[in-house]
Chain A
Amino acid sequence: MGTAAKDVIDVQQPNNLLLDKHVEYICAYENKKDDYEYVMTEYLRMSGIYWCITAMDLMGHLHKMTAEDIIKVVKKCQHECGGVSPSEGHDPHLLYTLSAVQILCTYDALDVVDVDGLVLYVSALQQEDGSFVGDMWGEVDTRFSFCALACLALLHRLDAVDVEKAIEFVLSCKNFDGGFGTKPGSESHAGQIYCCLGVLAITGRLHEVDADLLGWWLCERQLPSGGLNGRPEKLPDVCYSWWVLSSLAMIGKLHWIDRDKLVSFILASQDEETGGFADRPGDLVDPFHTLFGLAGQSLLGERKLKEINPVFCMPQEVINRLDVHVQLL
């Protein structure tokens, strides 16, 4: 008696990148402001905007988004404390502060916000043990370590926090399998691994990772369908094409997954009718999976897309323009 391995049934269609449909999908999404999904995800709108514009930029169609409106929205969402909220009428949080910075960097419009205020907000969230809380309510998570350092790296203000302590905290989250969890003592998870590796890449400390052990754990995320899951015994999901893949890229082991099978899985998760990507073939699409499906494709060498930076999940040309440098093994 054994447990059946969790996976999806091998799906082969669609088998090419439906770029035009995805452009259509994102454009339409921006205009569906009364749509149920749109309104109910107001609590993460800033990240939603970042997913949409980054997807469009990767496809070379950023000009189709209304930059002015978006920049106005971002500006309105910066609170007095310096942090940014997901939408008007919501409280600020580190997650949306990062998304806001990513959006403004893409548009080269950082001057519309109070940058010193942003830096102050982020640095105040660092705790004594080097960890970061997401907001004043005190939730600690390595995702927030990444949000803080990525934010400050993009603003060239890493000096505002105790980087050594931040690294120390992240390293204290390292596990028996080479991976990282949300807090010290937490199980490894691909999303958290991405965040922790991101911190180490930004601070030039990737040598502290056991790249062979972690790379093995990461390449074991690939299932017979070709898709990647986030940890053992879980279903494959297109967003892990990003979290796992970019992690592998940061430690120089991208070639340890089967590229063709993964591409096949990602493409099969597209919706031929509406455009966009879903978490797996046959499911409903959304902008989140659309960005990460495209980002994964870019990392795998899709030439119709711009080159993506594996640490920031932003076009490499934006990172170059900002003159930001990260370590990659």
Chain B
Amino acid sequence: MAPPPLNSTIPVTDQVLVEEKLSARILALNRPRQLNALSFQMISRLLELFVAYEEDSNVKLIIVKGKGRAFCAGGDVAAVVQDINEGNWRLGANFFWKEYILNYIMATYRKPQVSILNGIVMGGGAGASIHGRFRVATENSVFAMPETALGLFPDVGASYFLSRLPGFFGEYVGLMGTRLDGAEMLACGLATHFVPSEKLSLLEEALCKIDSSDPAIISAVIDEYSQQPYMKEKSAYHRLNVIDRCFSRRTVEEIISALEREALNKKDDWISATIQSLKGASPTSLKISLRSIRQGRLQGVGQCLVREYRMVCHVMQGKVSKDFFEGCRAILLDKDKNPKWEPSKLELVSDSMVDSYFSVVDDEGWEDLKLPARSSLPVYAIAKL
């Protein structure tokens, strides 16, 4: 039997499943074959639901989870690239516009969002969960922002949340696309809790009974099912000193030479793998990502998303570099894993080329991302503005 065509496996309306349990709403991302990659329809649906629930006094808590072995593997970038190739890049811009608005609503949400991260959480999946109040990791969690290998940059507000990780771990995770497990996510603060997957159904049941929006009460309930996970010996989290020493340097080039100096001092597979990985990523992506994370550290979540929207439009416009299309070809479409980046070397990406990604997009009718008006925010959301 021939496999069904990709997008028709599940009717659009069922790509996000909704369960109502007292004052809790459980939203399940439901495109398991695509690892729940966010389609435009899913983003629109999530946005619609979140906006409605915020005004609905019967809703006090939102749980977001994924069907199958992923929470969400990211935005459906392949579809976006196809759109761009068929028409103009502005179609892609609509996708990111809506996605970033969803990220902003989640970051400034008046009610607690509990995300159950029992599987892959990457790119857009991180954007749909990390901004929320509670992030529950499990032994199955795999987090990554893999954009630099794809010719993109960590977006969906990652310049906000990565830059706020301890020390320079954010630069490390953002530039490298390093995979983090549940224990690492908890240690660095990407997750707020670690719950073994076997207890998830009990946790969900307990959450549905809470009937409160009080973060302290919700946190206490999750605490009951939480445990302290074991941090694997090879975890990068044990390397925070080296990471801080190297990823705090001024430029990508200096980060790499700092790593090379470390490698000279002592032979270490981890360091050489790190260097290799950086050398394999898109040079343009590395440079714009580093700058984005560093700016993001000093900006509110809204400003971060406005900046990222400018950047992603430049990426799609492809005036400086077409690495995004090349990355998607090599990783997602042809799967030869051998992208030919252009510019091919870090030193060929000048400061002014990087600057241009942060400037107003020169295209008829283009506008900066317009953040929706928000009001009556809880204290923790106010602090993110």
Q: Does B associate with A?
A: no
Write the residues of chain A forming the contact surface with B, with a CB cutoff of 8 angstroms: none
Residues of B at the A interface (CB closer than 8 Å) are none
